Amino acid sequence: MAKDRFLAQGVTGTKRQRGGGKPTSSRKPTKDQAKRPGKPRKHHGGSDEEGGDDESDNEVGDVNDLEHRYGTDENDMSSEDEFLETAAEKRLRLAKSYISKVKASTEMDADEYDAAQIDRDLIAERLTSDARERSGKWSRRIADQFAYPVDESSMARVLKNGHLLPVTCVAISPNGQFVYSGSKDGSLIKWQRETGRKLKVFKGQKKKNPAPNHNLGHCDHILSIAISSDNKYVATGGRDRRIHIWSVDEDRHLIAFHQHKDAVTGVVFRRGINHLYSCSADRMVKMWNVDELAYMDTLFGHQDIILSIDALQREQAVTTGSRDKTLRLWKIADEAQLVFRGGSTTDQNRITKALSEGKQDAIEAAAEVRAIIEQNPSTALHAEEYRDLLRSLAAENTEFCEESVDVVAMIDEETYVTGGDSGALCLWSVQKKKPVFIHHVAHGVQPTTASTDTVSTPAVEADGDSSPAIRLPTRSRWITALAAVPFTDLFFSASSDGLVRLWRMRPGKVPGFDLVNAIPVAGFVNGLAVRELSPEGSLSVRKDIVLAVAVGVEPRLGRWAKEKARNVHMKEGFGRAV
């Protein structure tokens, strides 16, 4: 009678070989195995029976590592029970022990803080928000928080006595400490945001200076500013065809790039990495590595000057080509570009469609903004004025054609909003080549007077009677600046009508946006910058919204119009967003 294997080897010779001995196998080789002596069997440290046991040994080793790391609870199990438990049971026991110790370490007096509230706010909500941003689609809804009457005196800070000529651009550092502004006088000024104090002035250079002096600063209008996400670098582009890089901490000039052949109209940093994208009137988009202070690549495609550029986290950028009436999404990693055709028309049919309230989407949109209108009566007044304007334009059979796409802002990685000379705000999606929603004449029309509304023609009859005067067409106010809070439902638009308008993206599957509020700002708004800032020392996920506005008496790219306004350098608006 064969001896029982368990009784013959004892407990130490069973499944777990803790003594290091090798048990002998009782299985006899088969005939096939005996015929193939040249092909040895694959052994994993023992016989076939132990082939899967060594995997258990590796798992036990991992669990032992957990045991050394987190310790064990001696009161829970005896040594014999611990020996007989499987690897999965031991892993589960150690996990429970670790969780109980974490809970014990976070338990404090109720007067100090609420651990559950901290966990919910700082861990769950923040991780969810980060995951949504990584997906590249907007998800946070904050626009409803700004549906309140605006008191300009309490929310605005005017930075004066800085530039000599109209301000053309503005930028806020990601940490919220500094504000940079550029002007037509070629100077760059660094401001303290909280106090409004002027910290540093980088003066413009004279055009007649020798070429080496041009590398110390701009010798013509500064047209764009961008600040890196790590608060280290400031990039400026100007009409002198140069891009200058400045150090934020050291307040000094680092390098000047000369590769563009015409005015640099836009610069933007990619979020999370110091890669700079620039656009120019030479119809090219260039990429730069600011950490290495080096040129990277050039992108071609636009048929006219590029006026605006924007980018977020992905390796891509979106640009507007002014009079080629295209919006282009540059997929840099794929070496490809998507072309979106603009040139929308505001005519009687489209105005009538915008005024129609019989469609389901218009009814739903009206129901959604009803609460906002009730909170802010001024929003209801602006909405009623807009409807009256559309009715008058429809009665006159007025038509506006978008001949130039001037500005762009990214809502998220797949949604953009543009503005142009027709005054229409267009919402775009990567899924379609045409705008998914158009808000016509967003900032109204140019005012007309008796002297400019009509033009008399010379006499054409022998008796001296003049022909009837020719009425000039109504002109809309073009969109001069756009800015968006990334991955939220809030964005801003501006023109020369004296208002910076706040817009709210519509939820659900129906694309569109509605007016939330309006901030009074007199003059030409040449630039907008917006940042989300966490309150200092606060553990809450709520953030402040800071808006900077560059205002001048003239447009950014010319002098063909003038508004009765002072050269206000910047205004800041403060709000609390969830």
Q: Pick the residue with more confidence: 232 or 60? A: 232
Q: What is the pLDDT of residues 443-457, one digit of tens each?
A: 988 876 544 444 444
Q: How many helices (H) and strands (E) does the chain have?
A: 13, 31
In this predicted model, what pLDDT tens digit does every residue of 192-209 receive, in sequence order? Answer: 988 889 999 999 888 766
Residue owning tokens 């964005």: 491
Give the predicted TM-score (pTM) of the model.
Answer: 0.73
> Taking 80 as the threshold, does the pLDDT of residue 76 lie above it?
no
In the numeric block, which tokens belong to residue 46?
């023992």
Average pLDDT rounded to a whole number, residues 301-322: 95
Which of 206-215, 547-556, 561-570 bottoms out in mean pLDDT, i.e. has the lowest? 206-215
Tokens of 148: 């309140």
**What number is the average pLDDT over the span 226-235?**
96
- pLDDT band per the 50, 70, 90 thresholds, residue 45: very low
Helix (H, G, I), strand (E, B) or coil at 517: strand
Residues 6+ apart with CB under 8 A from 412: 136, 137, 138, 312, 486, 487
Contact 168, 182 (CB under 8 A): yes
Give 541's pLDDT tier (boundaries 50, 70, 90).
low
Beta carbons of 46 and 23 less than 8 angstroms apart: yes
Q: What confidence category does residue 543 fall into, taking pLDDT thresholds of 50, 70 and 90?
A: confident
Query: Which residues, in sequence order, are CB contacts of 147 under 8 Å at separation 6+?
Result: 371, 372, 375, 376, 379, 516, 517
The residue type found at 141 is: R
Whether residue 139 is predicted with pLDDT greater than 60 in this model: the reply is yes
Q: Which helix (H) or strand (E) holds 370?
A: helix 360-375
- Secondary structure (3-state) at 296: strand
Is pLDDT above 90 for 50? no
Q: Which of 25-39, 150-164, 366-380 has the lowest mean pLDDT?
A: 25-39
The closest alpha carbon to 574, from 174, 153, 121, belongs to 153
Residue 244 has pLDDT above 90, yes or no: yes
Q: Fill in the DSSP letter of residue 113.
A: -
Model confidence pLDDT, tens digit, residues 482-500? 999 999 999 999 999 989 9
